[in-house]
Amino acid sequence: MKKLFVALSAIFLTFSVNAADLTEGKQYVTLKTAPSAQSEVVEFFSFYCPHCYSFEYQYKIPEQVKNNLPKDVKFTQYHVEFLGPQGKNLTRAWAFAMATGIEDKVKEALFLAAQKNTLRSMEDIRQIFLDKGVSAEQFDGGINSFAVTALVSKQVNAAEQFKVRGVPDFYINGRFRVNAEGLNTKNTESFIKDYVETVKGLLQK
């Protein structure tokens, strides 16, 4: 029991030090928005964004952030509609994916199609969902449903609230934005670690 207490104390001390070591204007920016009702981390991304693809599949920052969060902290990825010719349709498609819990099933295929600029309409996006096992009835009946439309509005409104102008962009508790330019860029490993630690530290503020 004593060893467990010491271990837990070390963890909390680490969190405290991380939070104290963060500098306003360097690793993060404080927002003028109202804090979120619950602890949360929100990433804004676009399937058209090559940096978002690198974050997701090369650096795996979203995955590492999610895996390092306390159980009571929610991690959400919102798609922005202001990039690419199918940005609005992809935001709706992502809302459908969130509503049906199939984000991981379709995410990479949507990224690859957008990066290759092969999407010409919602029909092309629909085919990706069908190729991943979603039935035509499920997609056609859900893509314009009330629940999906509400999620579209939630993503758009959140991007407007935080004045998101570029992606990937991480926001913590509605109060802080991670400033990637101020993180350790000595090498990829240092950058990834600093990004994750910054998110963890901001959750303690």
Q: Which residues lie below 8 Å from residue 188, measured CB to CB, with a gap of 6+? A: 59
Amino acid at position 118, single letter: T
Query: Sheet of 74-79: strands edge to edge?
Result: 28-30, 176-178, 169-172, 40-45, 74-79
Q: How confident is the model at residue 18 (pLDDT cuts 50, 70, 90)?
A: low
Residue 158: is its pLDDT beyond 60? yes
Checking if the pLDDT of 9 tops 50, the result is no
d(CA 100, CA 76): 14
pLDDT of the residue at 21: 85
pLDDT digits (tens, 9 = 90+) for 77-122: 999 999 999 999 999 999 999 999 999 999 999 999 999 999 999 9
**pTM metric for this prediction:** 0.89
Name the average pLDDT for the chain: 92
Q: Could you give all domains of the chain from N- to C-terminal order, each with its CATH number?
A: 38-204 (3.40.30.10)
Q: Mean of the pLDDT values across residues 40-59?
A: 98
